[in-house]
Structure 1
């Protein structure tokens, strides 16, 4: 992920991880400076009430049409964005429009993500591994989370002029981050969210400044003319699609100590271009956090040795028997380091 304002585009994080991890590793690790969240009206914790509000949030994400403007803060980076969100029989569709810096748009559908900028168009197929791109991915089965997270109803607040309920999702161990979310009391949509470190300080924050529920959204708004509007023969280009991976059935790689709660949801192998070594890509998720592992034979210097961090994204790289081992995820730095140093290679295991 590049050390620039476009870091905040959450919609492409999952579907373009291979491209982003190379950009991320060019960044110097950042020191995060952020203030504590102001207290809302505190109430006695009630896990059942919190669960009810989370279920309402999931339902709202899958059924409501809305438009709004939000602010996203990640370390020293600040983004203002416009979002248009639509739900129909074909699933969710979203348009994210940057309001500061270079004009960019992200169109997210059920099986693809497209990034649009003047003279540029990048398409990322999303069929391999999908997650809700904005603003928080929570599984329908909340029971999947309860072994590793605790739900608490914290009280009430007011966001974007609307009454909100405040919910805490607290990790039961140090392997993952915590979350605090503000849900619209009437509809259940997320009005504000914060990703918290182990001490409860915010790493990333998102807050709506206005939001309107719509009976429907005109599909034509998702067909942006942006690339054609500003394109010229010198600047117009369409980046090639990332390679499509093939499922791996036999692998030489083993992770000896994977933190509890993380399950493998993807294991592919792909070659970025002819003449390059293949890359093995594994994705692990606990329902909220996602971790990617990249394994690639080296021909030269490793891309990363040691740790790197940008906002919530932590990375750790090491070399094992001539292979670059790279672990990237929206988890604490200690988690990616633990996984990277637990990876071993057994060539015999790769044979059918």
Structure 2
């Protein structure tokens, strides 16, 4: 099958006959399985806003299904991060988390039937990435509240060798792409470990958030509350509430921090696919800064920020 870019489909072109939906959902399941079971090593490039960086990654799943990731930046400042089951254990140079998040698909089962409500999931053709055969899977949003995704999945392992995140105009917001990929050492029993320079990350203790503290009066269709926590800010030492939402693939967070008389105004910014929208909210206990951060369209984040209110939050999942 000839490969047709997702950009053409997002712009309204019906240029390819997609494979059966069951085939697309099978590949989505293979992707989910690979994130939990497949070990590999490789080098990839990461692009956002016209800026490039090169990284090496070691992804190892041990016999107990514990996932270890070691990530090195190969150009510019020396950066390293080491994660266990998605939790950062140590860093060198403060490697930006979104770089690793760009290639780290959820280490959990993706619900193809649920995702199909919010994305048109299609097998779009074949490609070749890092010298390996790949199947191109498109996840086209059914509304304006999430981005389109084009995935090039390794034909042998199901690991994403390349991914593109695209807005509603088909413009690329982010690219992750392997230039070297090796899954031949998947059975290697030598554990992946960080370098001696990797400094442990200070863990800020989180406490349960009062379920009646906050709510959002509007959410994009398909998104639901997945967790609520409260941590003490390392800067202001004030308790900061965090509400995390997702649709099974995309996600965003709502942070609520007391201002205690501090001067702060509304703001909005976007870096590649990541947006941050802040607004000042008057409450009975004083002004609070509401900040929505995530890989969702700017207009969606603004609407969520405007809908935050004091009061009972959505039920815990």
Q: Does 1:284 align with 2:245?
A: yes
Aligned-pair CA distance for 1:51:
1.0
Match of 2:304 in 1: 339
Q: Distance in 2 between matches of 1:225 and 1:112?
A: 19
- Consecutive unaligned residues in structure 1, runs of 5 or more: 1-35, 125-130, 228-237
Q: Does 1:208 align with 2:170?
A: no
In 2, Cα distance between the equivalents of 1:220 and 1:155?
A: 36
Contact 1:264 1:282 in 2 (8 A): yes
Distance across 1 between alignment mates of 2:266 and 2:47 = 28
**Residue number in structure 2 paired with 1:7:** none
- State how far apart, in whole Å, the 2-side matches of 1:77 and 1:209 are: 17
Q: Distance in 2 between matches of 1:274 and 1:338?
A: 27
Supply the distance in 2 between the matched residues of 1:121 and 1:206 (Cα, whole angstroms): 20
Tell me the residue number matched to 1:64: 38
Q: Secondary structure at the match of 2:103?
A: coil
Describe how 1:20-39 pairs up with structure 2 within 5 A. none
CA distance in structure 2 between the partners assigned to 1:171 and 1:146 by the alignment: 9
Q: CA deviation at 1:158?
A: 1.1
Pairwise CA distance, 1:291: 0.8
Aligned residue number for residue 11 of structure 2: none
Distance 2:259 2:94 in 1: 30
- Determine which of 220, 224, 239 is the counterpart of 2:195: 224
Contact 1:97 1:104 in 2 (8 A): yes
TM-score (norm 2): 0.84
Deviation at 1:110, TM superposition (A): 1.4
Paired with 2:27 and 2:269, the residues of 1 have a C-alpha distance of 35
Q: Which residue among 105, 122, 132 is the counterpart of 1:136?
A: 105
Work out whether 1:161 is the aligned partner of 2:131: yes
Count of aligned residue pairs for this structure pair: 292
Distance (Å, rounded) in 2 between the aligned partners of 1:74 and 1:285:
22
Residue matched to 1:12 = none
1:152-196 C-alpha deviation (Å, 9 max, x unpaired): 111111111111111100111001111000011122111100011
- Whole-Å separation in 2 of the counterparts to 1:212 and 1:190: 13
Q: Distance in 1 between matches of 2:57 and 2:164?
A: 18
TM normalised by structure 1 equals 0.76
The root-mean-square deviation of aligned C-alpha atoms, in Å, is 2.7
